[in-house]
């Protein structure tokens, strides 16, 4: 038990009025103290009932009035209002807190016991549990055409694989690896075989045919991804009985994807996730036929990708905590925290993903969300004459690159060149989201650039910078991707792909303007959002609640008719996991599974084949796979 405790209570949900109570549990008075806590809500300083507050992101310091003393076994209470919506779940309160005192020169951290937040909640009905029985054929996503026959193909102790196409090399090796892991069977590759990979040139890219008879199994495709998709289906068809016998039902399947782009984004900036965790997630993506892994490397809180031209980005920008350039955020208030990926590790992950038919899309978030980069390279990225006043949505006042500094372009060009050389895919994501209002307004250099270029609004400076970045990316033969705000300033070309995350209306505007889009509306695809209305639910609540059925119900730009030519601009669908409260692999599992299976079906299967009850039955049949692979899925 610690000597101090902290209680957080919502006094008025409508007005977002919060009360903090600091309890001194010792027999001595506490004077000249400072409270430090992780608090992911912006506090209006003028609303403080007493004392003062300083916030940088989630790092929050509350200082009492000079004469304030917390008596022995006494309590100190403060009320204030917060900027964002009221709390609806327990996890969104204070996660860590400590007190320092003048007696220790404010260097010794006295941890507080943080009590569960006291909420004011309306009566909410929990999301219904899934009660339907498990389907016999439980493949997700739903295949286009399936015929089931009597009989089973028995996976004997030794299986032999025959490859009739070089396109099948990666898929056959993946099959061998997965079956060897899941079933402990021994597989060999031989001319005398009972599993055949056969090339069929008339099939489309990604399409496959799978025929399971009682004595042999035949996989046909015309592309590497087609063979990989067939193996993904086959792996889901494998069953085991009480005696440990593995079988596959006799079936004939013809299948192909609805969208070529079926994506998943993982934020590794807010919390660092190991190479092993990333690979494990990529492997599960392949099982459910997702095709693109969007890797979010950089943000305000950390820079995770080695750039050889600027070692400071990871020497400094990959770490936060006491004694570092970056203050703690989200967790680990009292210790140094972080990590980054070397280019050698990245190449290893790329090879791993490619063998599973998955393209990696790197994201370097600019010109906002750049605090880690700016703190790492202040000599290049700091405008010493900048006096603009702004506050980002995450409560930073110093996180935006200047479009008027030569150092900005030196930084961007060298980073882009290395990223394009490192990642073999055809595109690079540059973020471009959430540049706050007020930036660049009081920078003499930026204002001079506006006059020079004939710009009338500061937002055009964002377009100015992004146009330069697009041209640099294009010079490497790659395409630029960005969030909805990439269009701000109206300077990028229609070759830029827009990721629509705010709402469907913005996406519709994009396709009408001629932009290609990837659909990622937060209401249906942001899996950091809580999955139920219960206050005990894990996750965050800034975008409401996102139950599994809601994720499954998504139909991209549903208002467009199926034959509307604007639909040609929809490249696909992506889900995302932002990692503010995602510290480890178990939490990744809990937030992604089973909702990622819903996104997989939305992006692969024909809309007319989707059925919620049918999906639930197939989902029940996935529990054996979750258990075999130790996936810490959210119970359903």
pLDDT per position as a tens digit, 122-157? 777 889 899 999 999 999 999 999 999 999 998 876
Out of 159-168, 414-423, 492-501, least confident range: 159-168
How confident is the model over 506-538, as pLDDT tens digits? 899 999 999 999 999 999 999 999 999 999 999
Structural domains in the chain?
4-114 (2.60.40.290), 145-255 (3.30.379.10), 261-500+556-628 (3.20.20.80)
Contacts of 499 (CB under 8 A, 6+ apart): 429, 481, 482, 483, 484, 517, 518, 520, 574
Question: Considering the entire predicted model, what is its pTM?
Answer: 0.96
The mean pLDDT value for 610-631 works out to 96
Query: Binning pLDDT at 50, 70 and 90, where does residue 14 land?
Result: confident
The pLDDT of residue 101: 95
Looking at residues 336-361, what average pLDDT do you find? 98
How confident is residue 543, by pLDDT bands cut at 50, 70 and 90? confident
Q: Which candidate, 546, 424, 421, 427, places its Cα nearest to that of 486? A: 427
* Catalytically annotated residue among 9, 207, 267, 299: 299
Confidence of residue 189 (pLDDT cuts 50, 70, 90): low
The residue from 229, 296, 369, 569 that is catalytic is 369
Residue 547: pLDDT band (50, 70, 90) is very high
* Average pLDDT taken over every residue of the chain: 95
131: which 2 tokens? 């009660």
Task: Round the CA-based radius of gyration of the chain to a whole number and report it.
Answer: 27
Verify whether residue 299 is a known catalytic residue. yes
Q: Say how far apart CA 502 and CA 420 lie, in whole Å.
A: 28
The pair of three-digit structure tokens given for residue 465, joined into one six-digit string: 């910078």
Distance, in Å, from the CA atom of 82 to the CA atom of 19, rounded to the nearest integer, reads 11
Q: In the predicted model, is pLDDT for residue 88 greater than 90?
A: no
The Cα 489–Cα 280 span in angstroms is: 39
C-alpha distances (whole Å) from 9 to each of 6, 70, 367, 375 are 10, 19, 37, 35
pLDDT confidence of residue 87: 83
| 590 carries an active-site annotation | no
Number of other residues whose CB lies within 10 A of the CB of residue 94: 22
Catalytic residue among 199, 398, 410, 434: 434
Model pLDDT for residues 215-268, shown as the tens digit of each residue = 999 999 999 999 999 999 999 999 988 787 889 999 999 999 999 999 999 999
pLDDT bracket for residue 500 (50, 70, 90):
very high
């Amino acid at each position: 038990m610690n000597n101090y405790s902290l209680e957080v209570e919502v006094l008025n949900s409508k007005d977002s009025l919060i009360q903090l109570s600091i309890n001194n549990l010792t027999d001595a008075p506490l004077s000249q103290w400072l409270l430090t806590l992780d608090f992911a809500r912006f506090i209006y300083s003028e609303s403080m009932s007493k004392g003062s507050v300083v916030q940088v992101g989630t790092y929050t310091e509350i200082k009492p009035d000079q004469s304030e003393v917390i008596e022995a076994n006494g309590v100190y209470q403060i009320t204030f209002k917060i900027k964002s919506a009221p709390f609806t779940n327990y996890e969104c309160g204070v996660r860590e807190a400590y007190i320092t005192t003048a007696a220790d020169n404010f260097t010794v951290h006295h941890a507080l016991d943080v009590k569960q937040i006291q909420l004011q909640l309306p009566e909410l009905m929990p999301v219904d549990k899934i009660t339907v029985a498990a389907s016999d054929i439980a493949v997700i996503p739903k295949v286009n055409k399936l015929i089931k026959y009597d009989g089973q193909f028995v996976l004997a102790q030794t299986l032999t694989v025959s490859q009739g196409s070089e396109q099948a090399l990666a898929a056959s090796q993946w099959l061998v690896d997965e079956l060897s892991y899941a079933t402990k069977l021994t597989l060999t590759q031989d001319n005398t075989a009972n599993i055949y990979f056969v090339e069929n040139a008339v099939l489309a890219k990604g399409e496959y045919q799978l025929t399971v008879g009682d004595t042999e199994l035949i996989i046909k495709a015309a592309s590497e991804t087609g063979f990989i998709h067939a193996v993904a289906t086959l792996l889901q068809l494998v069953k085991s009985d009480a005696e440990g016998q593995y079988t596959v039902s006799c079936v004939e399947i013809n299948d192909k994807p609805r969208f070529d782009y079926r994506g998943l984004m993982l934020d590794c900036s807010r919390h660092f996730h190991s190479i092993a965790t990333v690979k494990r997630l990529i492997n599960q993506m392949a099982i459910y036929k997702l095709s693109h892994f969007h890797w979010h490397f950089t943000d305000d809180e950390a820079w995770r990708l080695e750039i050889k031209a600027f070692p400071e980005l990871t020497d400094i920008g990959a770490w936060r905590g006491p004694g570092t350039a970056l203050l703690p955020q989200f967790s680990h208030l009292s210790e140094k925290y972080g990590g980054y990926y070397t280019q050698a590790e990245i190449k290893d992950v790329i090879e791993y993903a490619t063998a599973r038919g998955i393209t990696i899309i790197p994201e370097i978030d600019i010109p906002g969300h750049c605090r880690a980069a700016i703190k790492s390279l202040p000599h290049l990225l700091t405008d010493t004459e900048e006096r603009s006043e702004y506050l980002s949505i995450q409560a930073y006042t110093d996180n935006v690159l200047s479009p008027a500094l030569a150092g900005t372009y030196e930084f961007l060009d060298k980073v882009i060149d290395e990223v394009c050389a490192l990642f073999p895919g055809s595109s690079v994501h540059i973020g471009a989201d959430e540049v706050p209002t007020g930036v660049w307004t009081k920078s003499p250099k930026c204002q001079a650039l506006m006059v020079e270029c004939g710009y009338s609004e500061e937002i055009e400076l964002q377009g100015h910078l992004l146009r330069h970045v697009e041209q640099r990316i294009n010079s490497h033969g790659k395409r630029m991707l960005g969030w909805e705000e990439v269009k701000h300033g109206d300077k990028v070309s229609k070759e830029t792909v827009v990721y629509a995350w705010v709402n469907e209306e913005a996406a519709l505007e994009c396709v009408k303007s001629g932009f290609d889009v990837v659909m990622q509306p937060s209401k249906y695809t942001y899996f950091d959002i809580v999955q139920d209305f219960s206050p005990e639910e894990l996750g965050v609540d800034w975008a409401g609640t996102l139950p599994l059925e809601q994720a499954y119900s998504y139909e991209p730009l549903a208002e467009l008719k199926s034959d509307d030519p604007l639909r040609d601009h929809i490249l696909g669908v992506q889900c995302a996991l932002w990692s503010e409260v995602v510290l480890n692999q178990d939490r990744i599992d809990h937030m992604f599974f089973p909702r990622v299976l819903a996104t997989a079906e939305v992006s692969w299967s024909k809309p007319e084949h989707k059925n919620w009850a049918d999906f639930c039955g197939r989902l029940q049949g996935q529990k054996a796979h979750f258990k075999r692979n130790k996936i810490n899925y959210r119970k359903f």
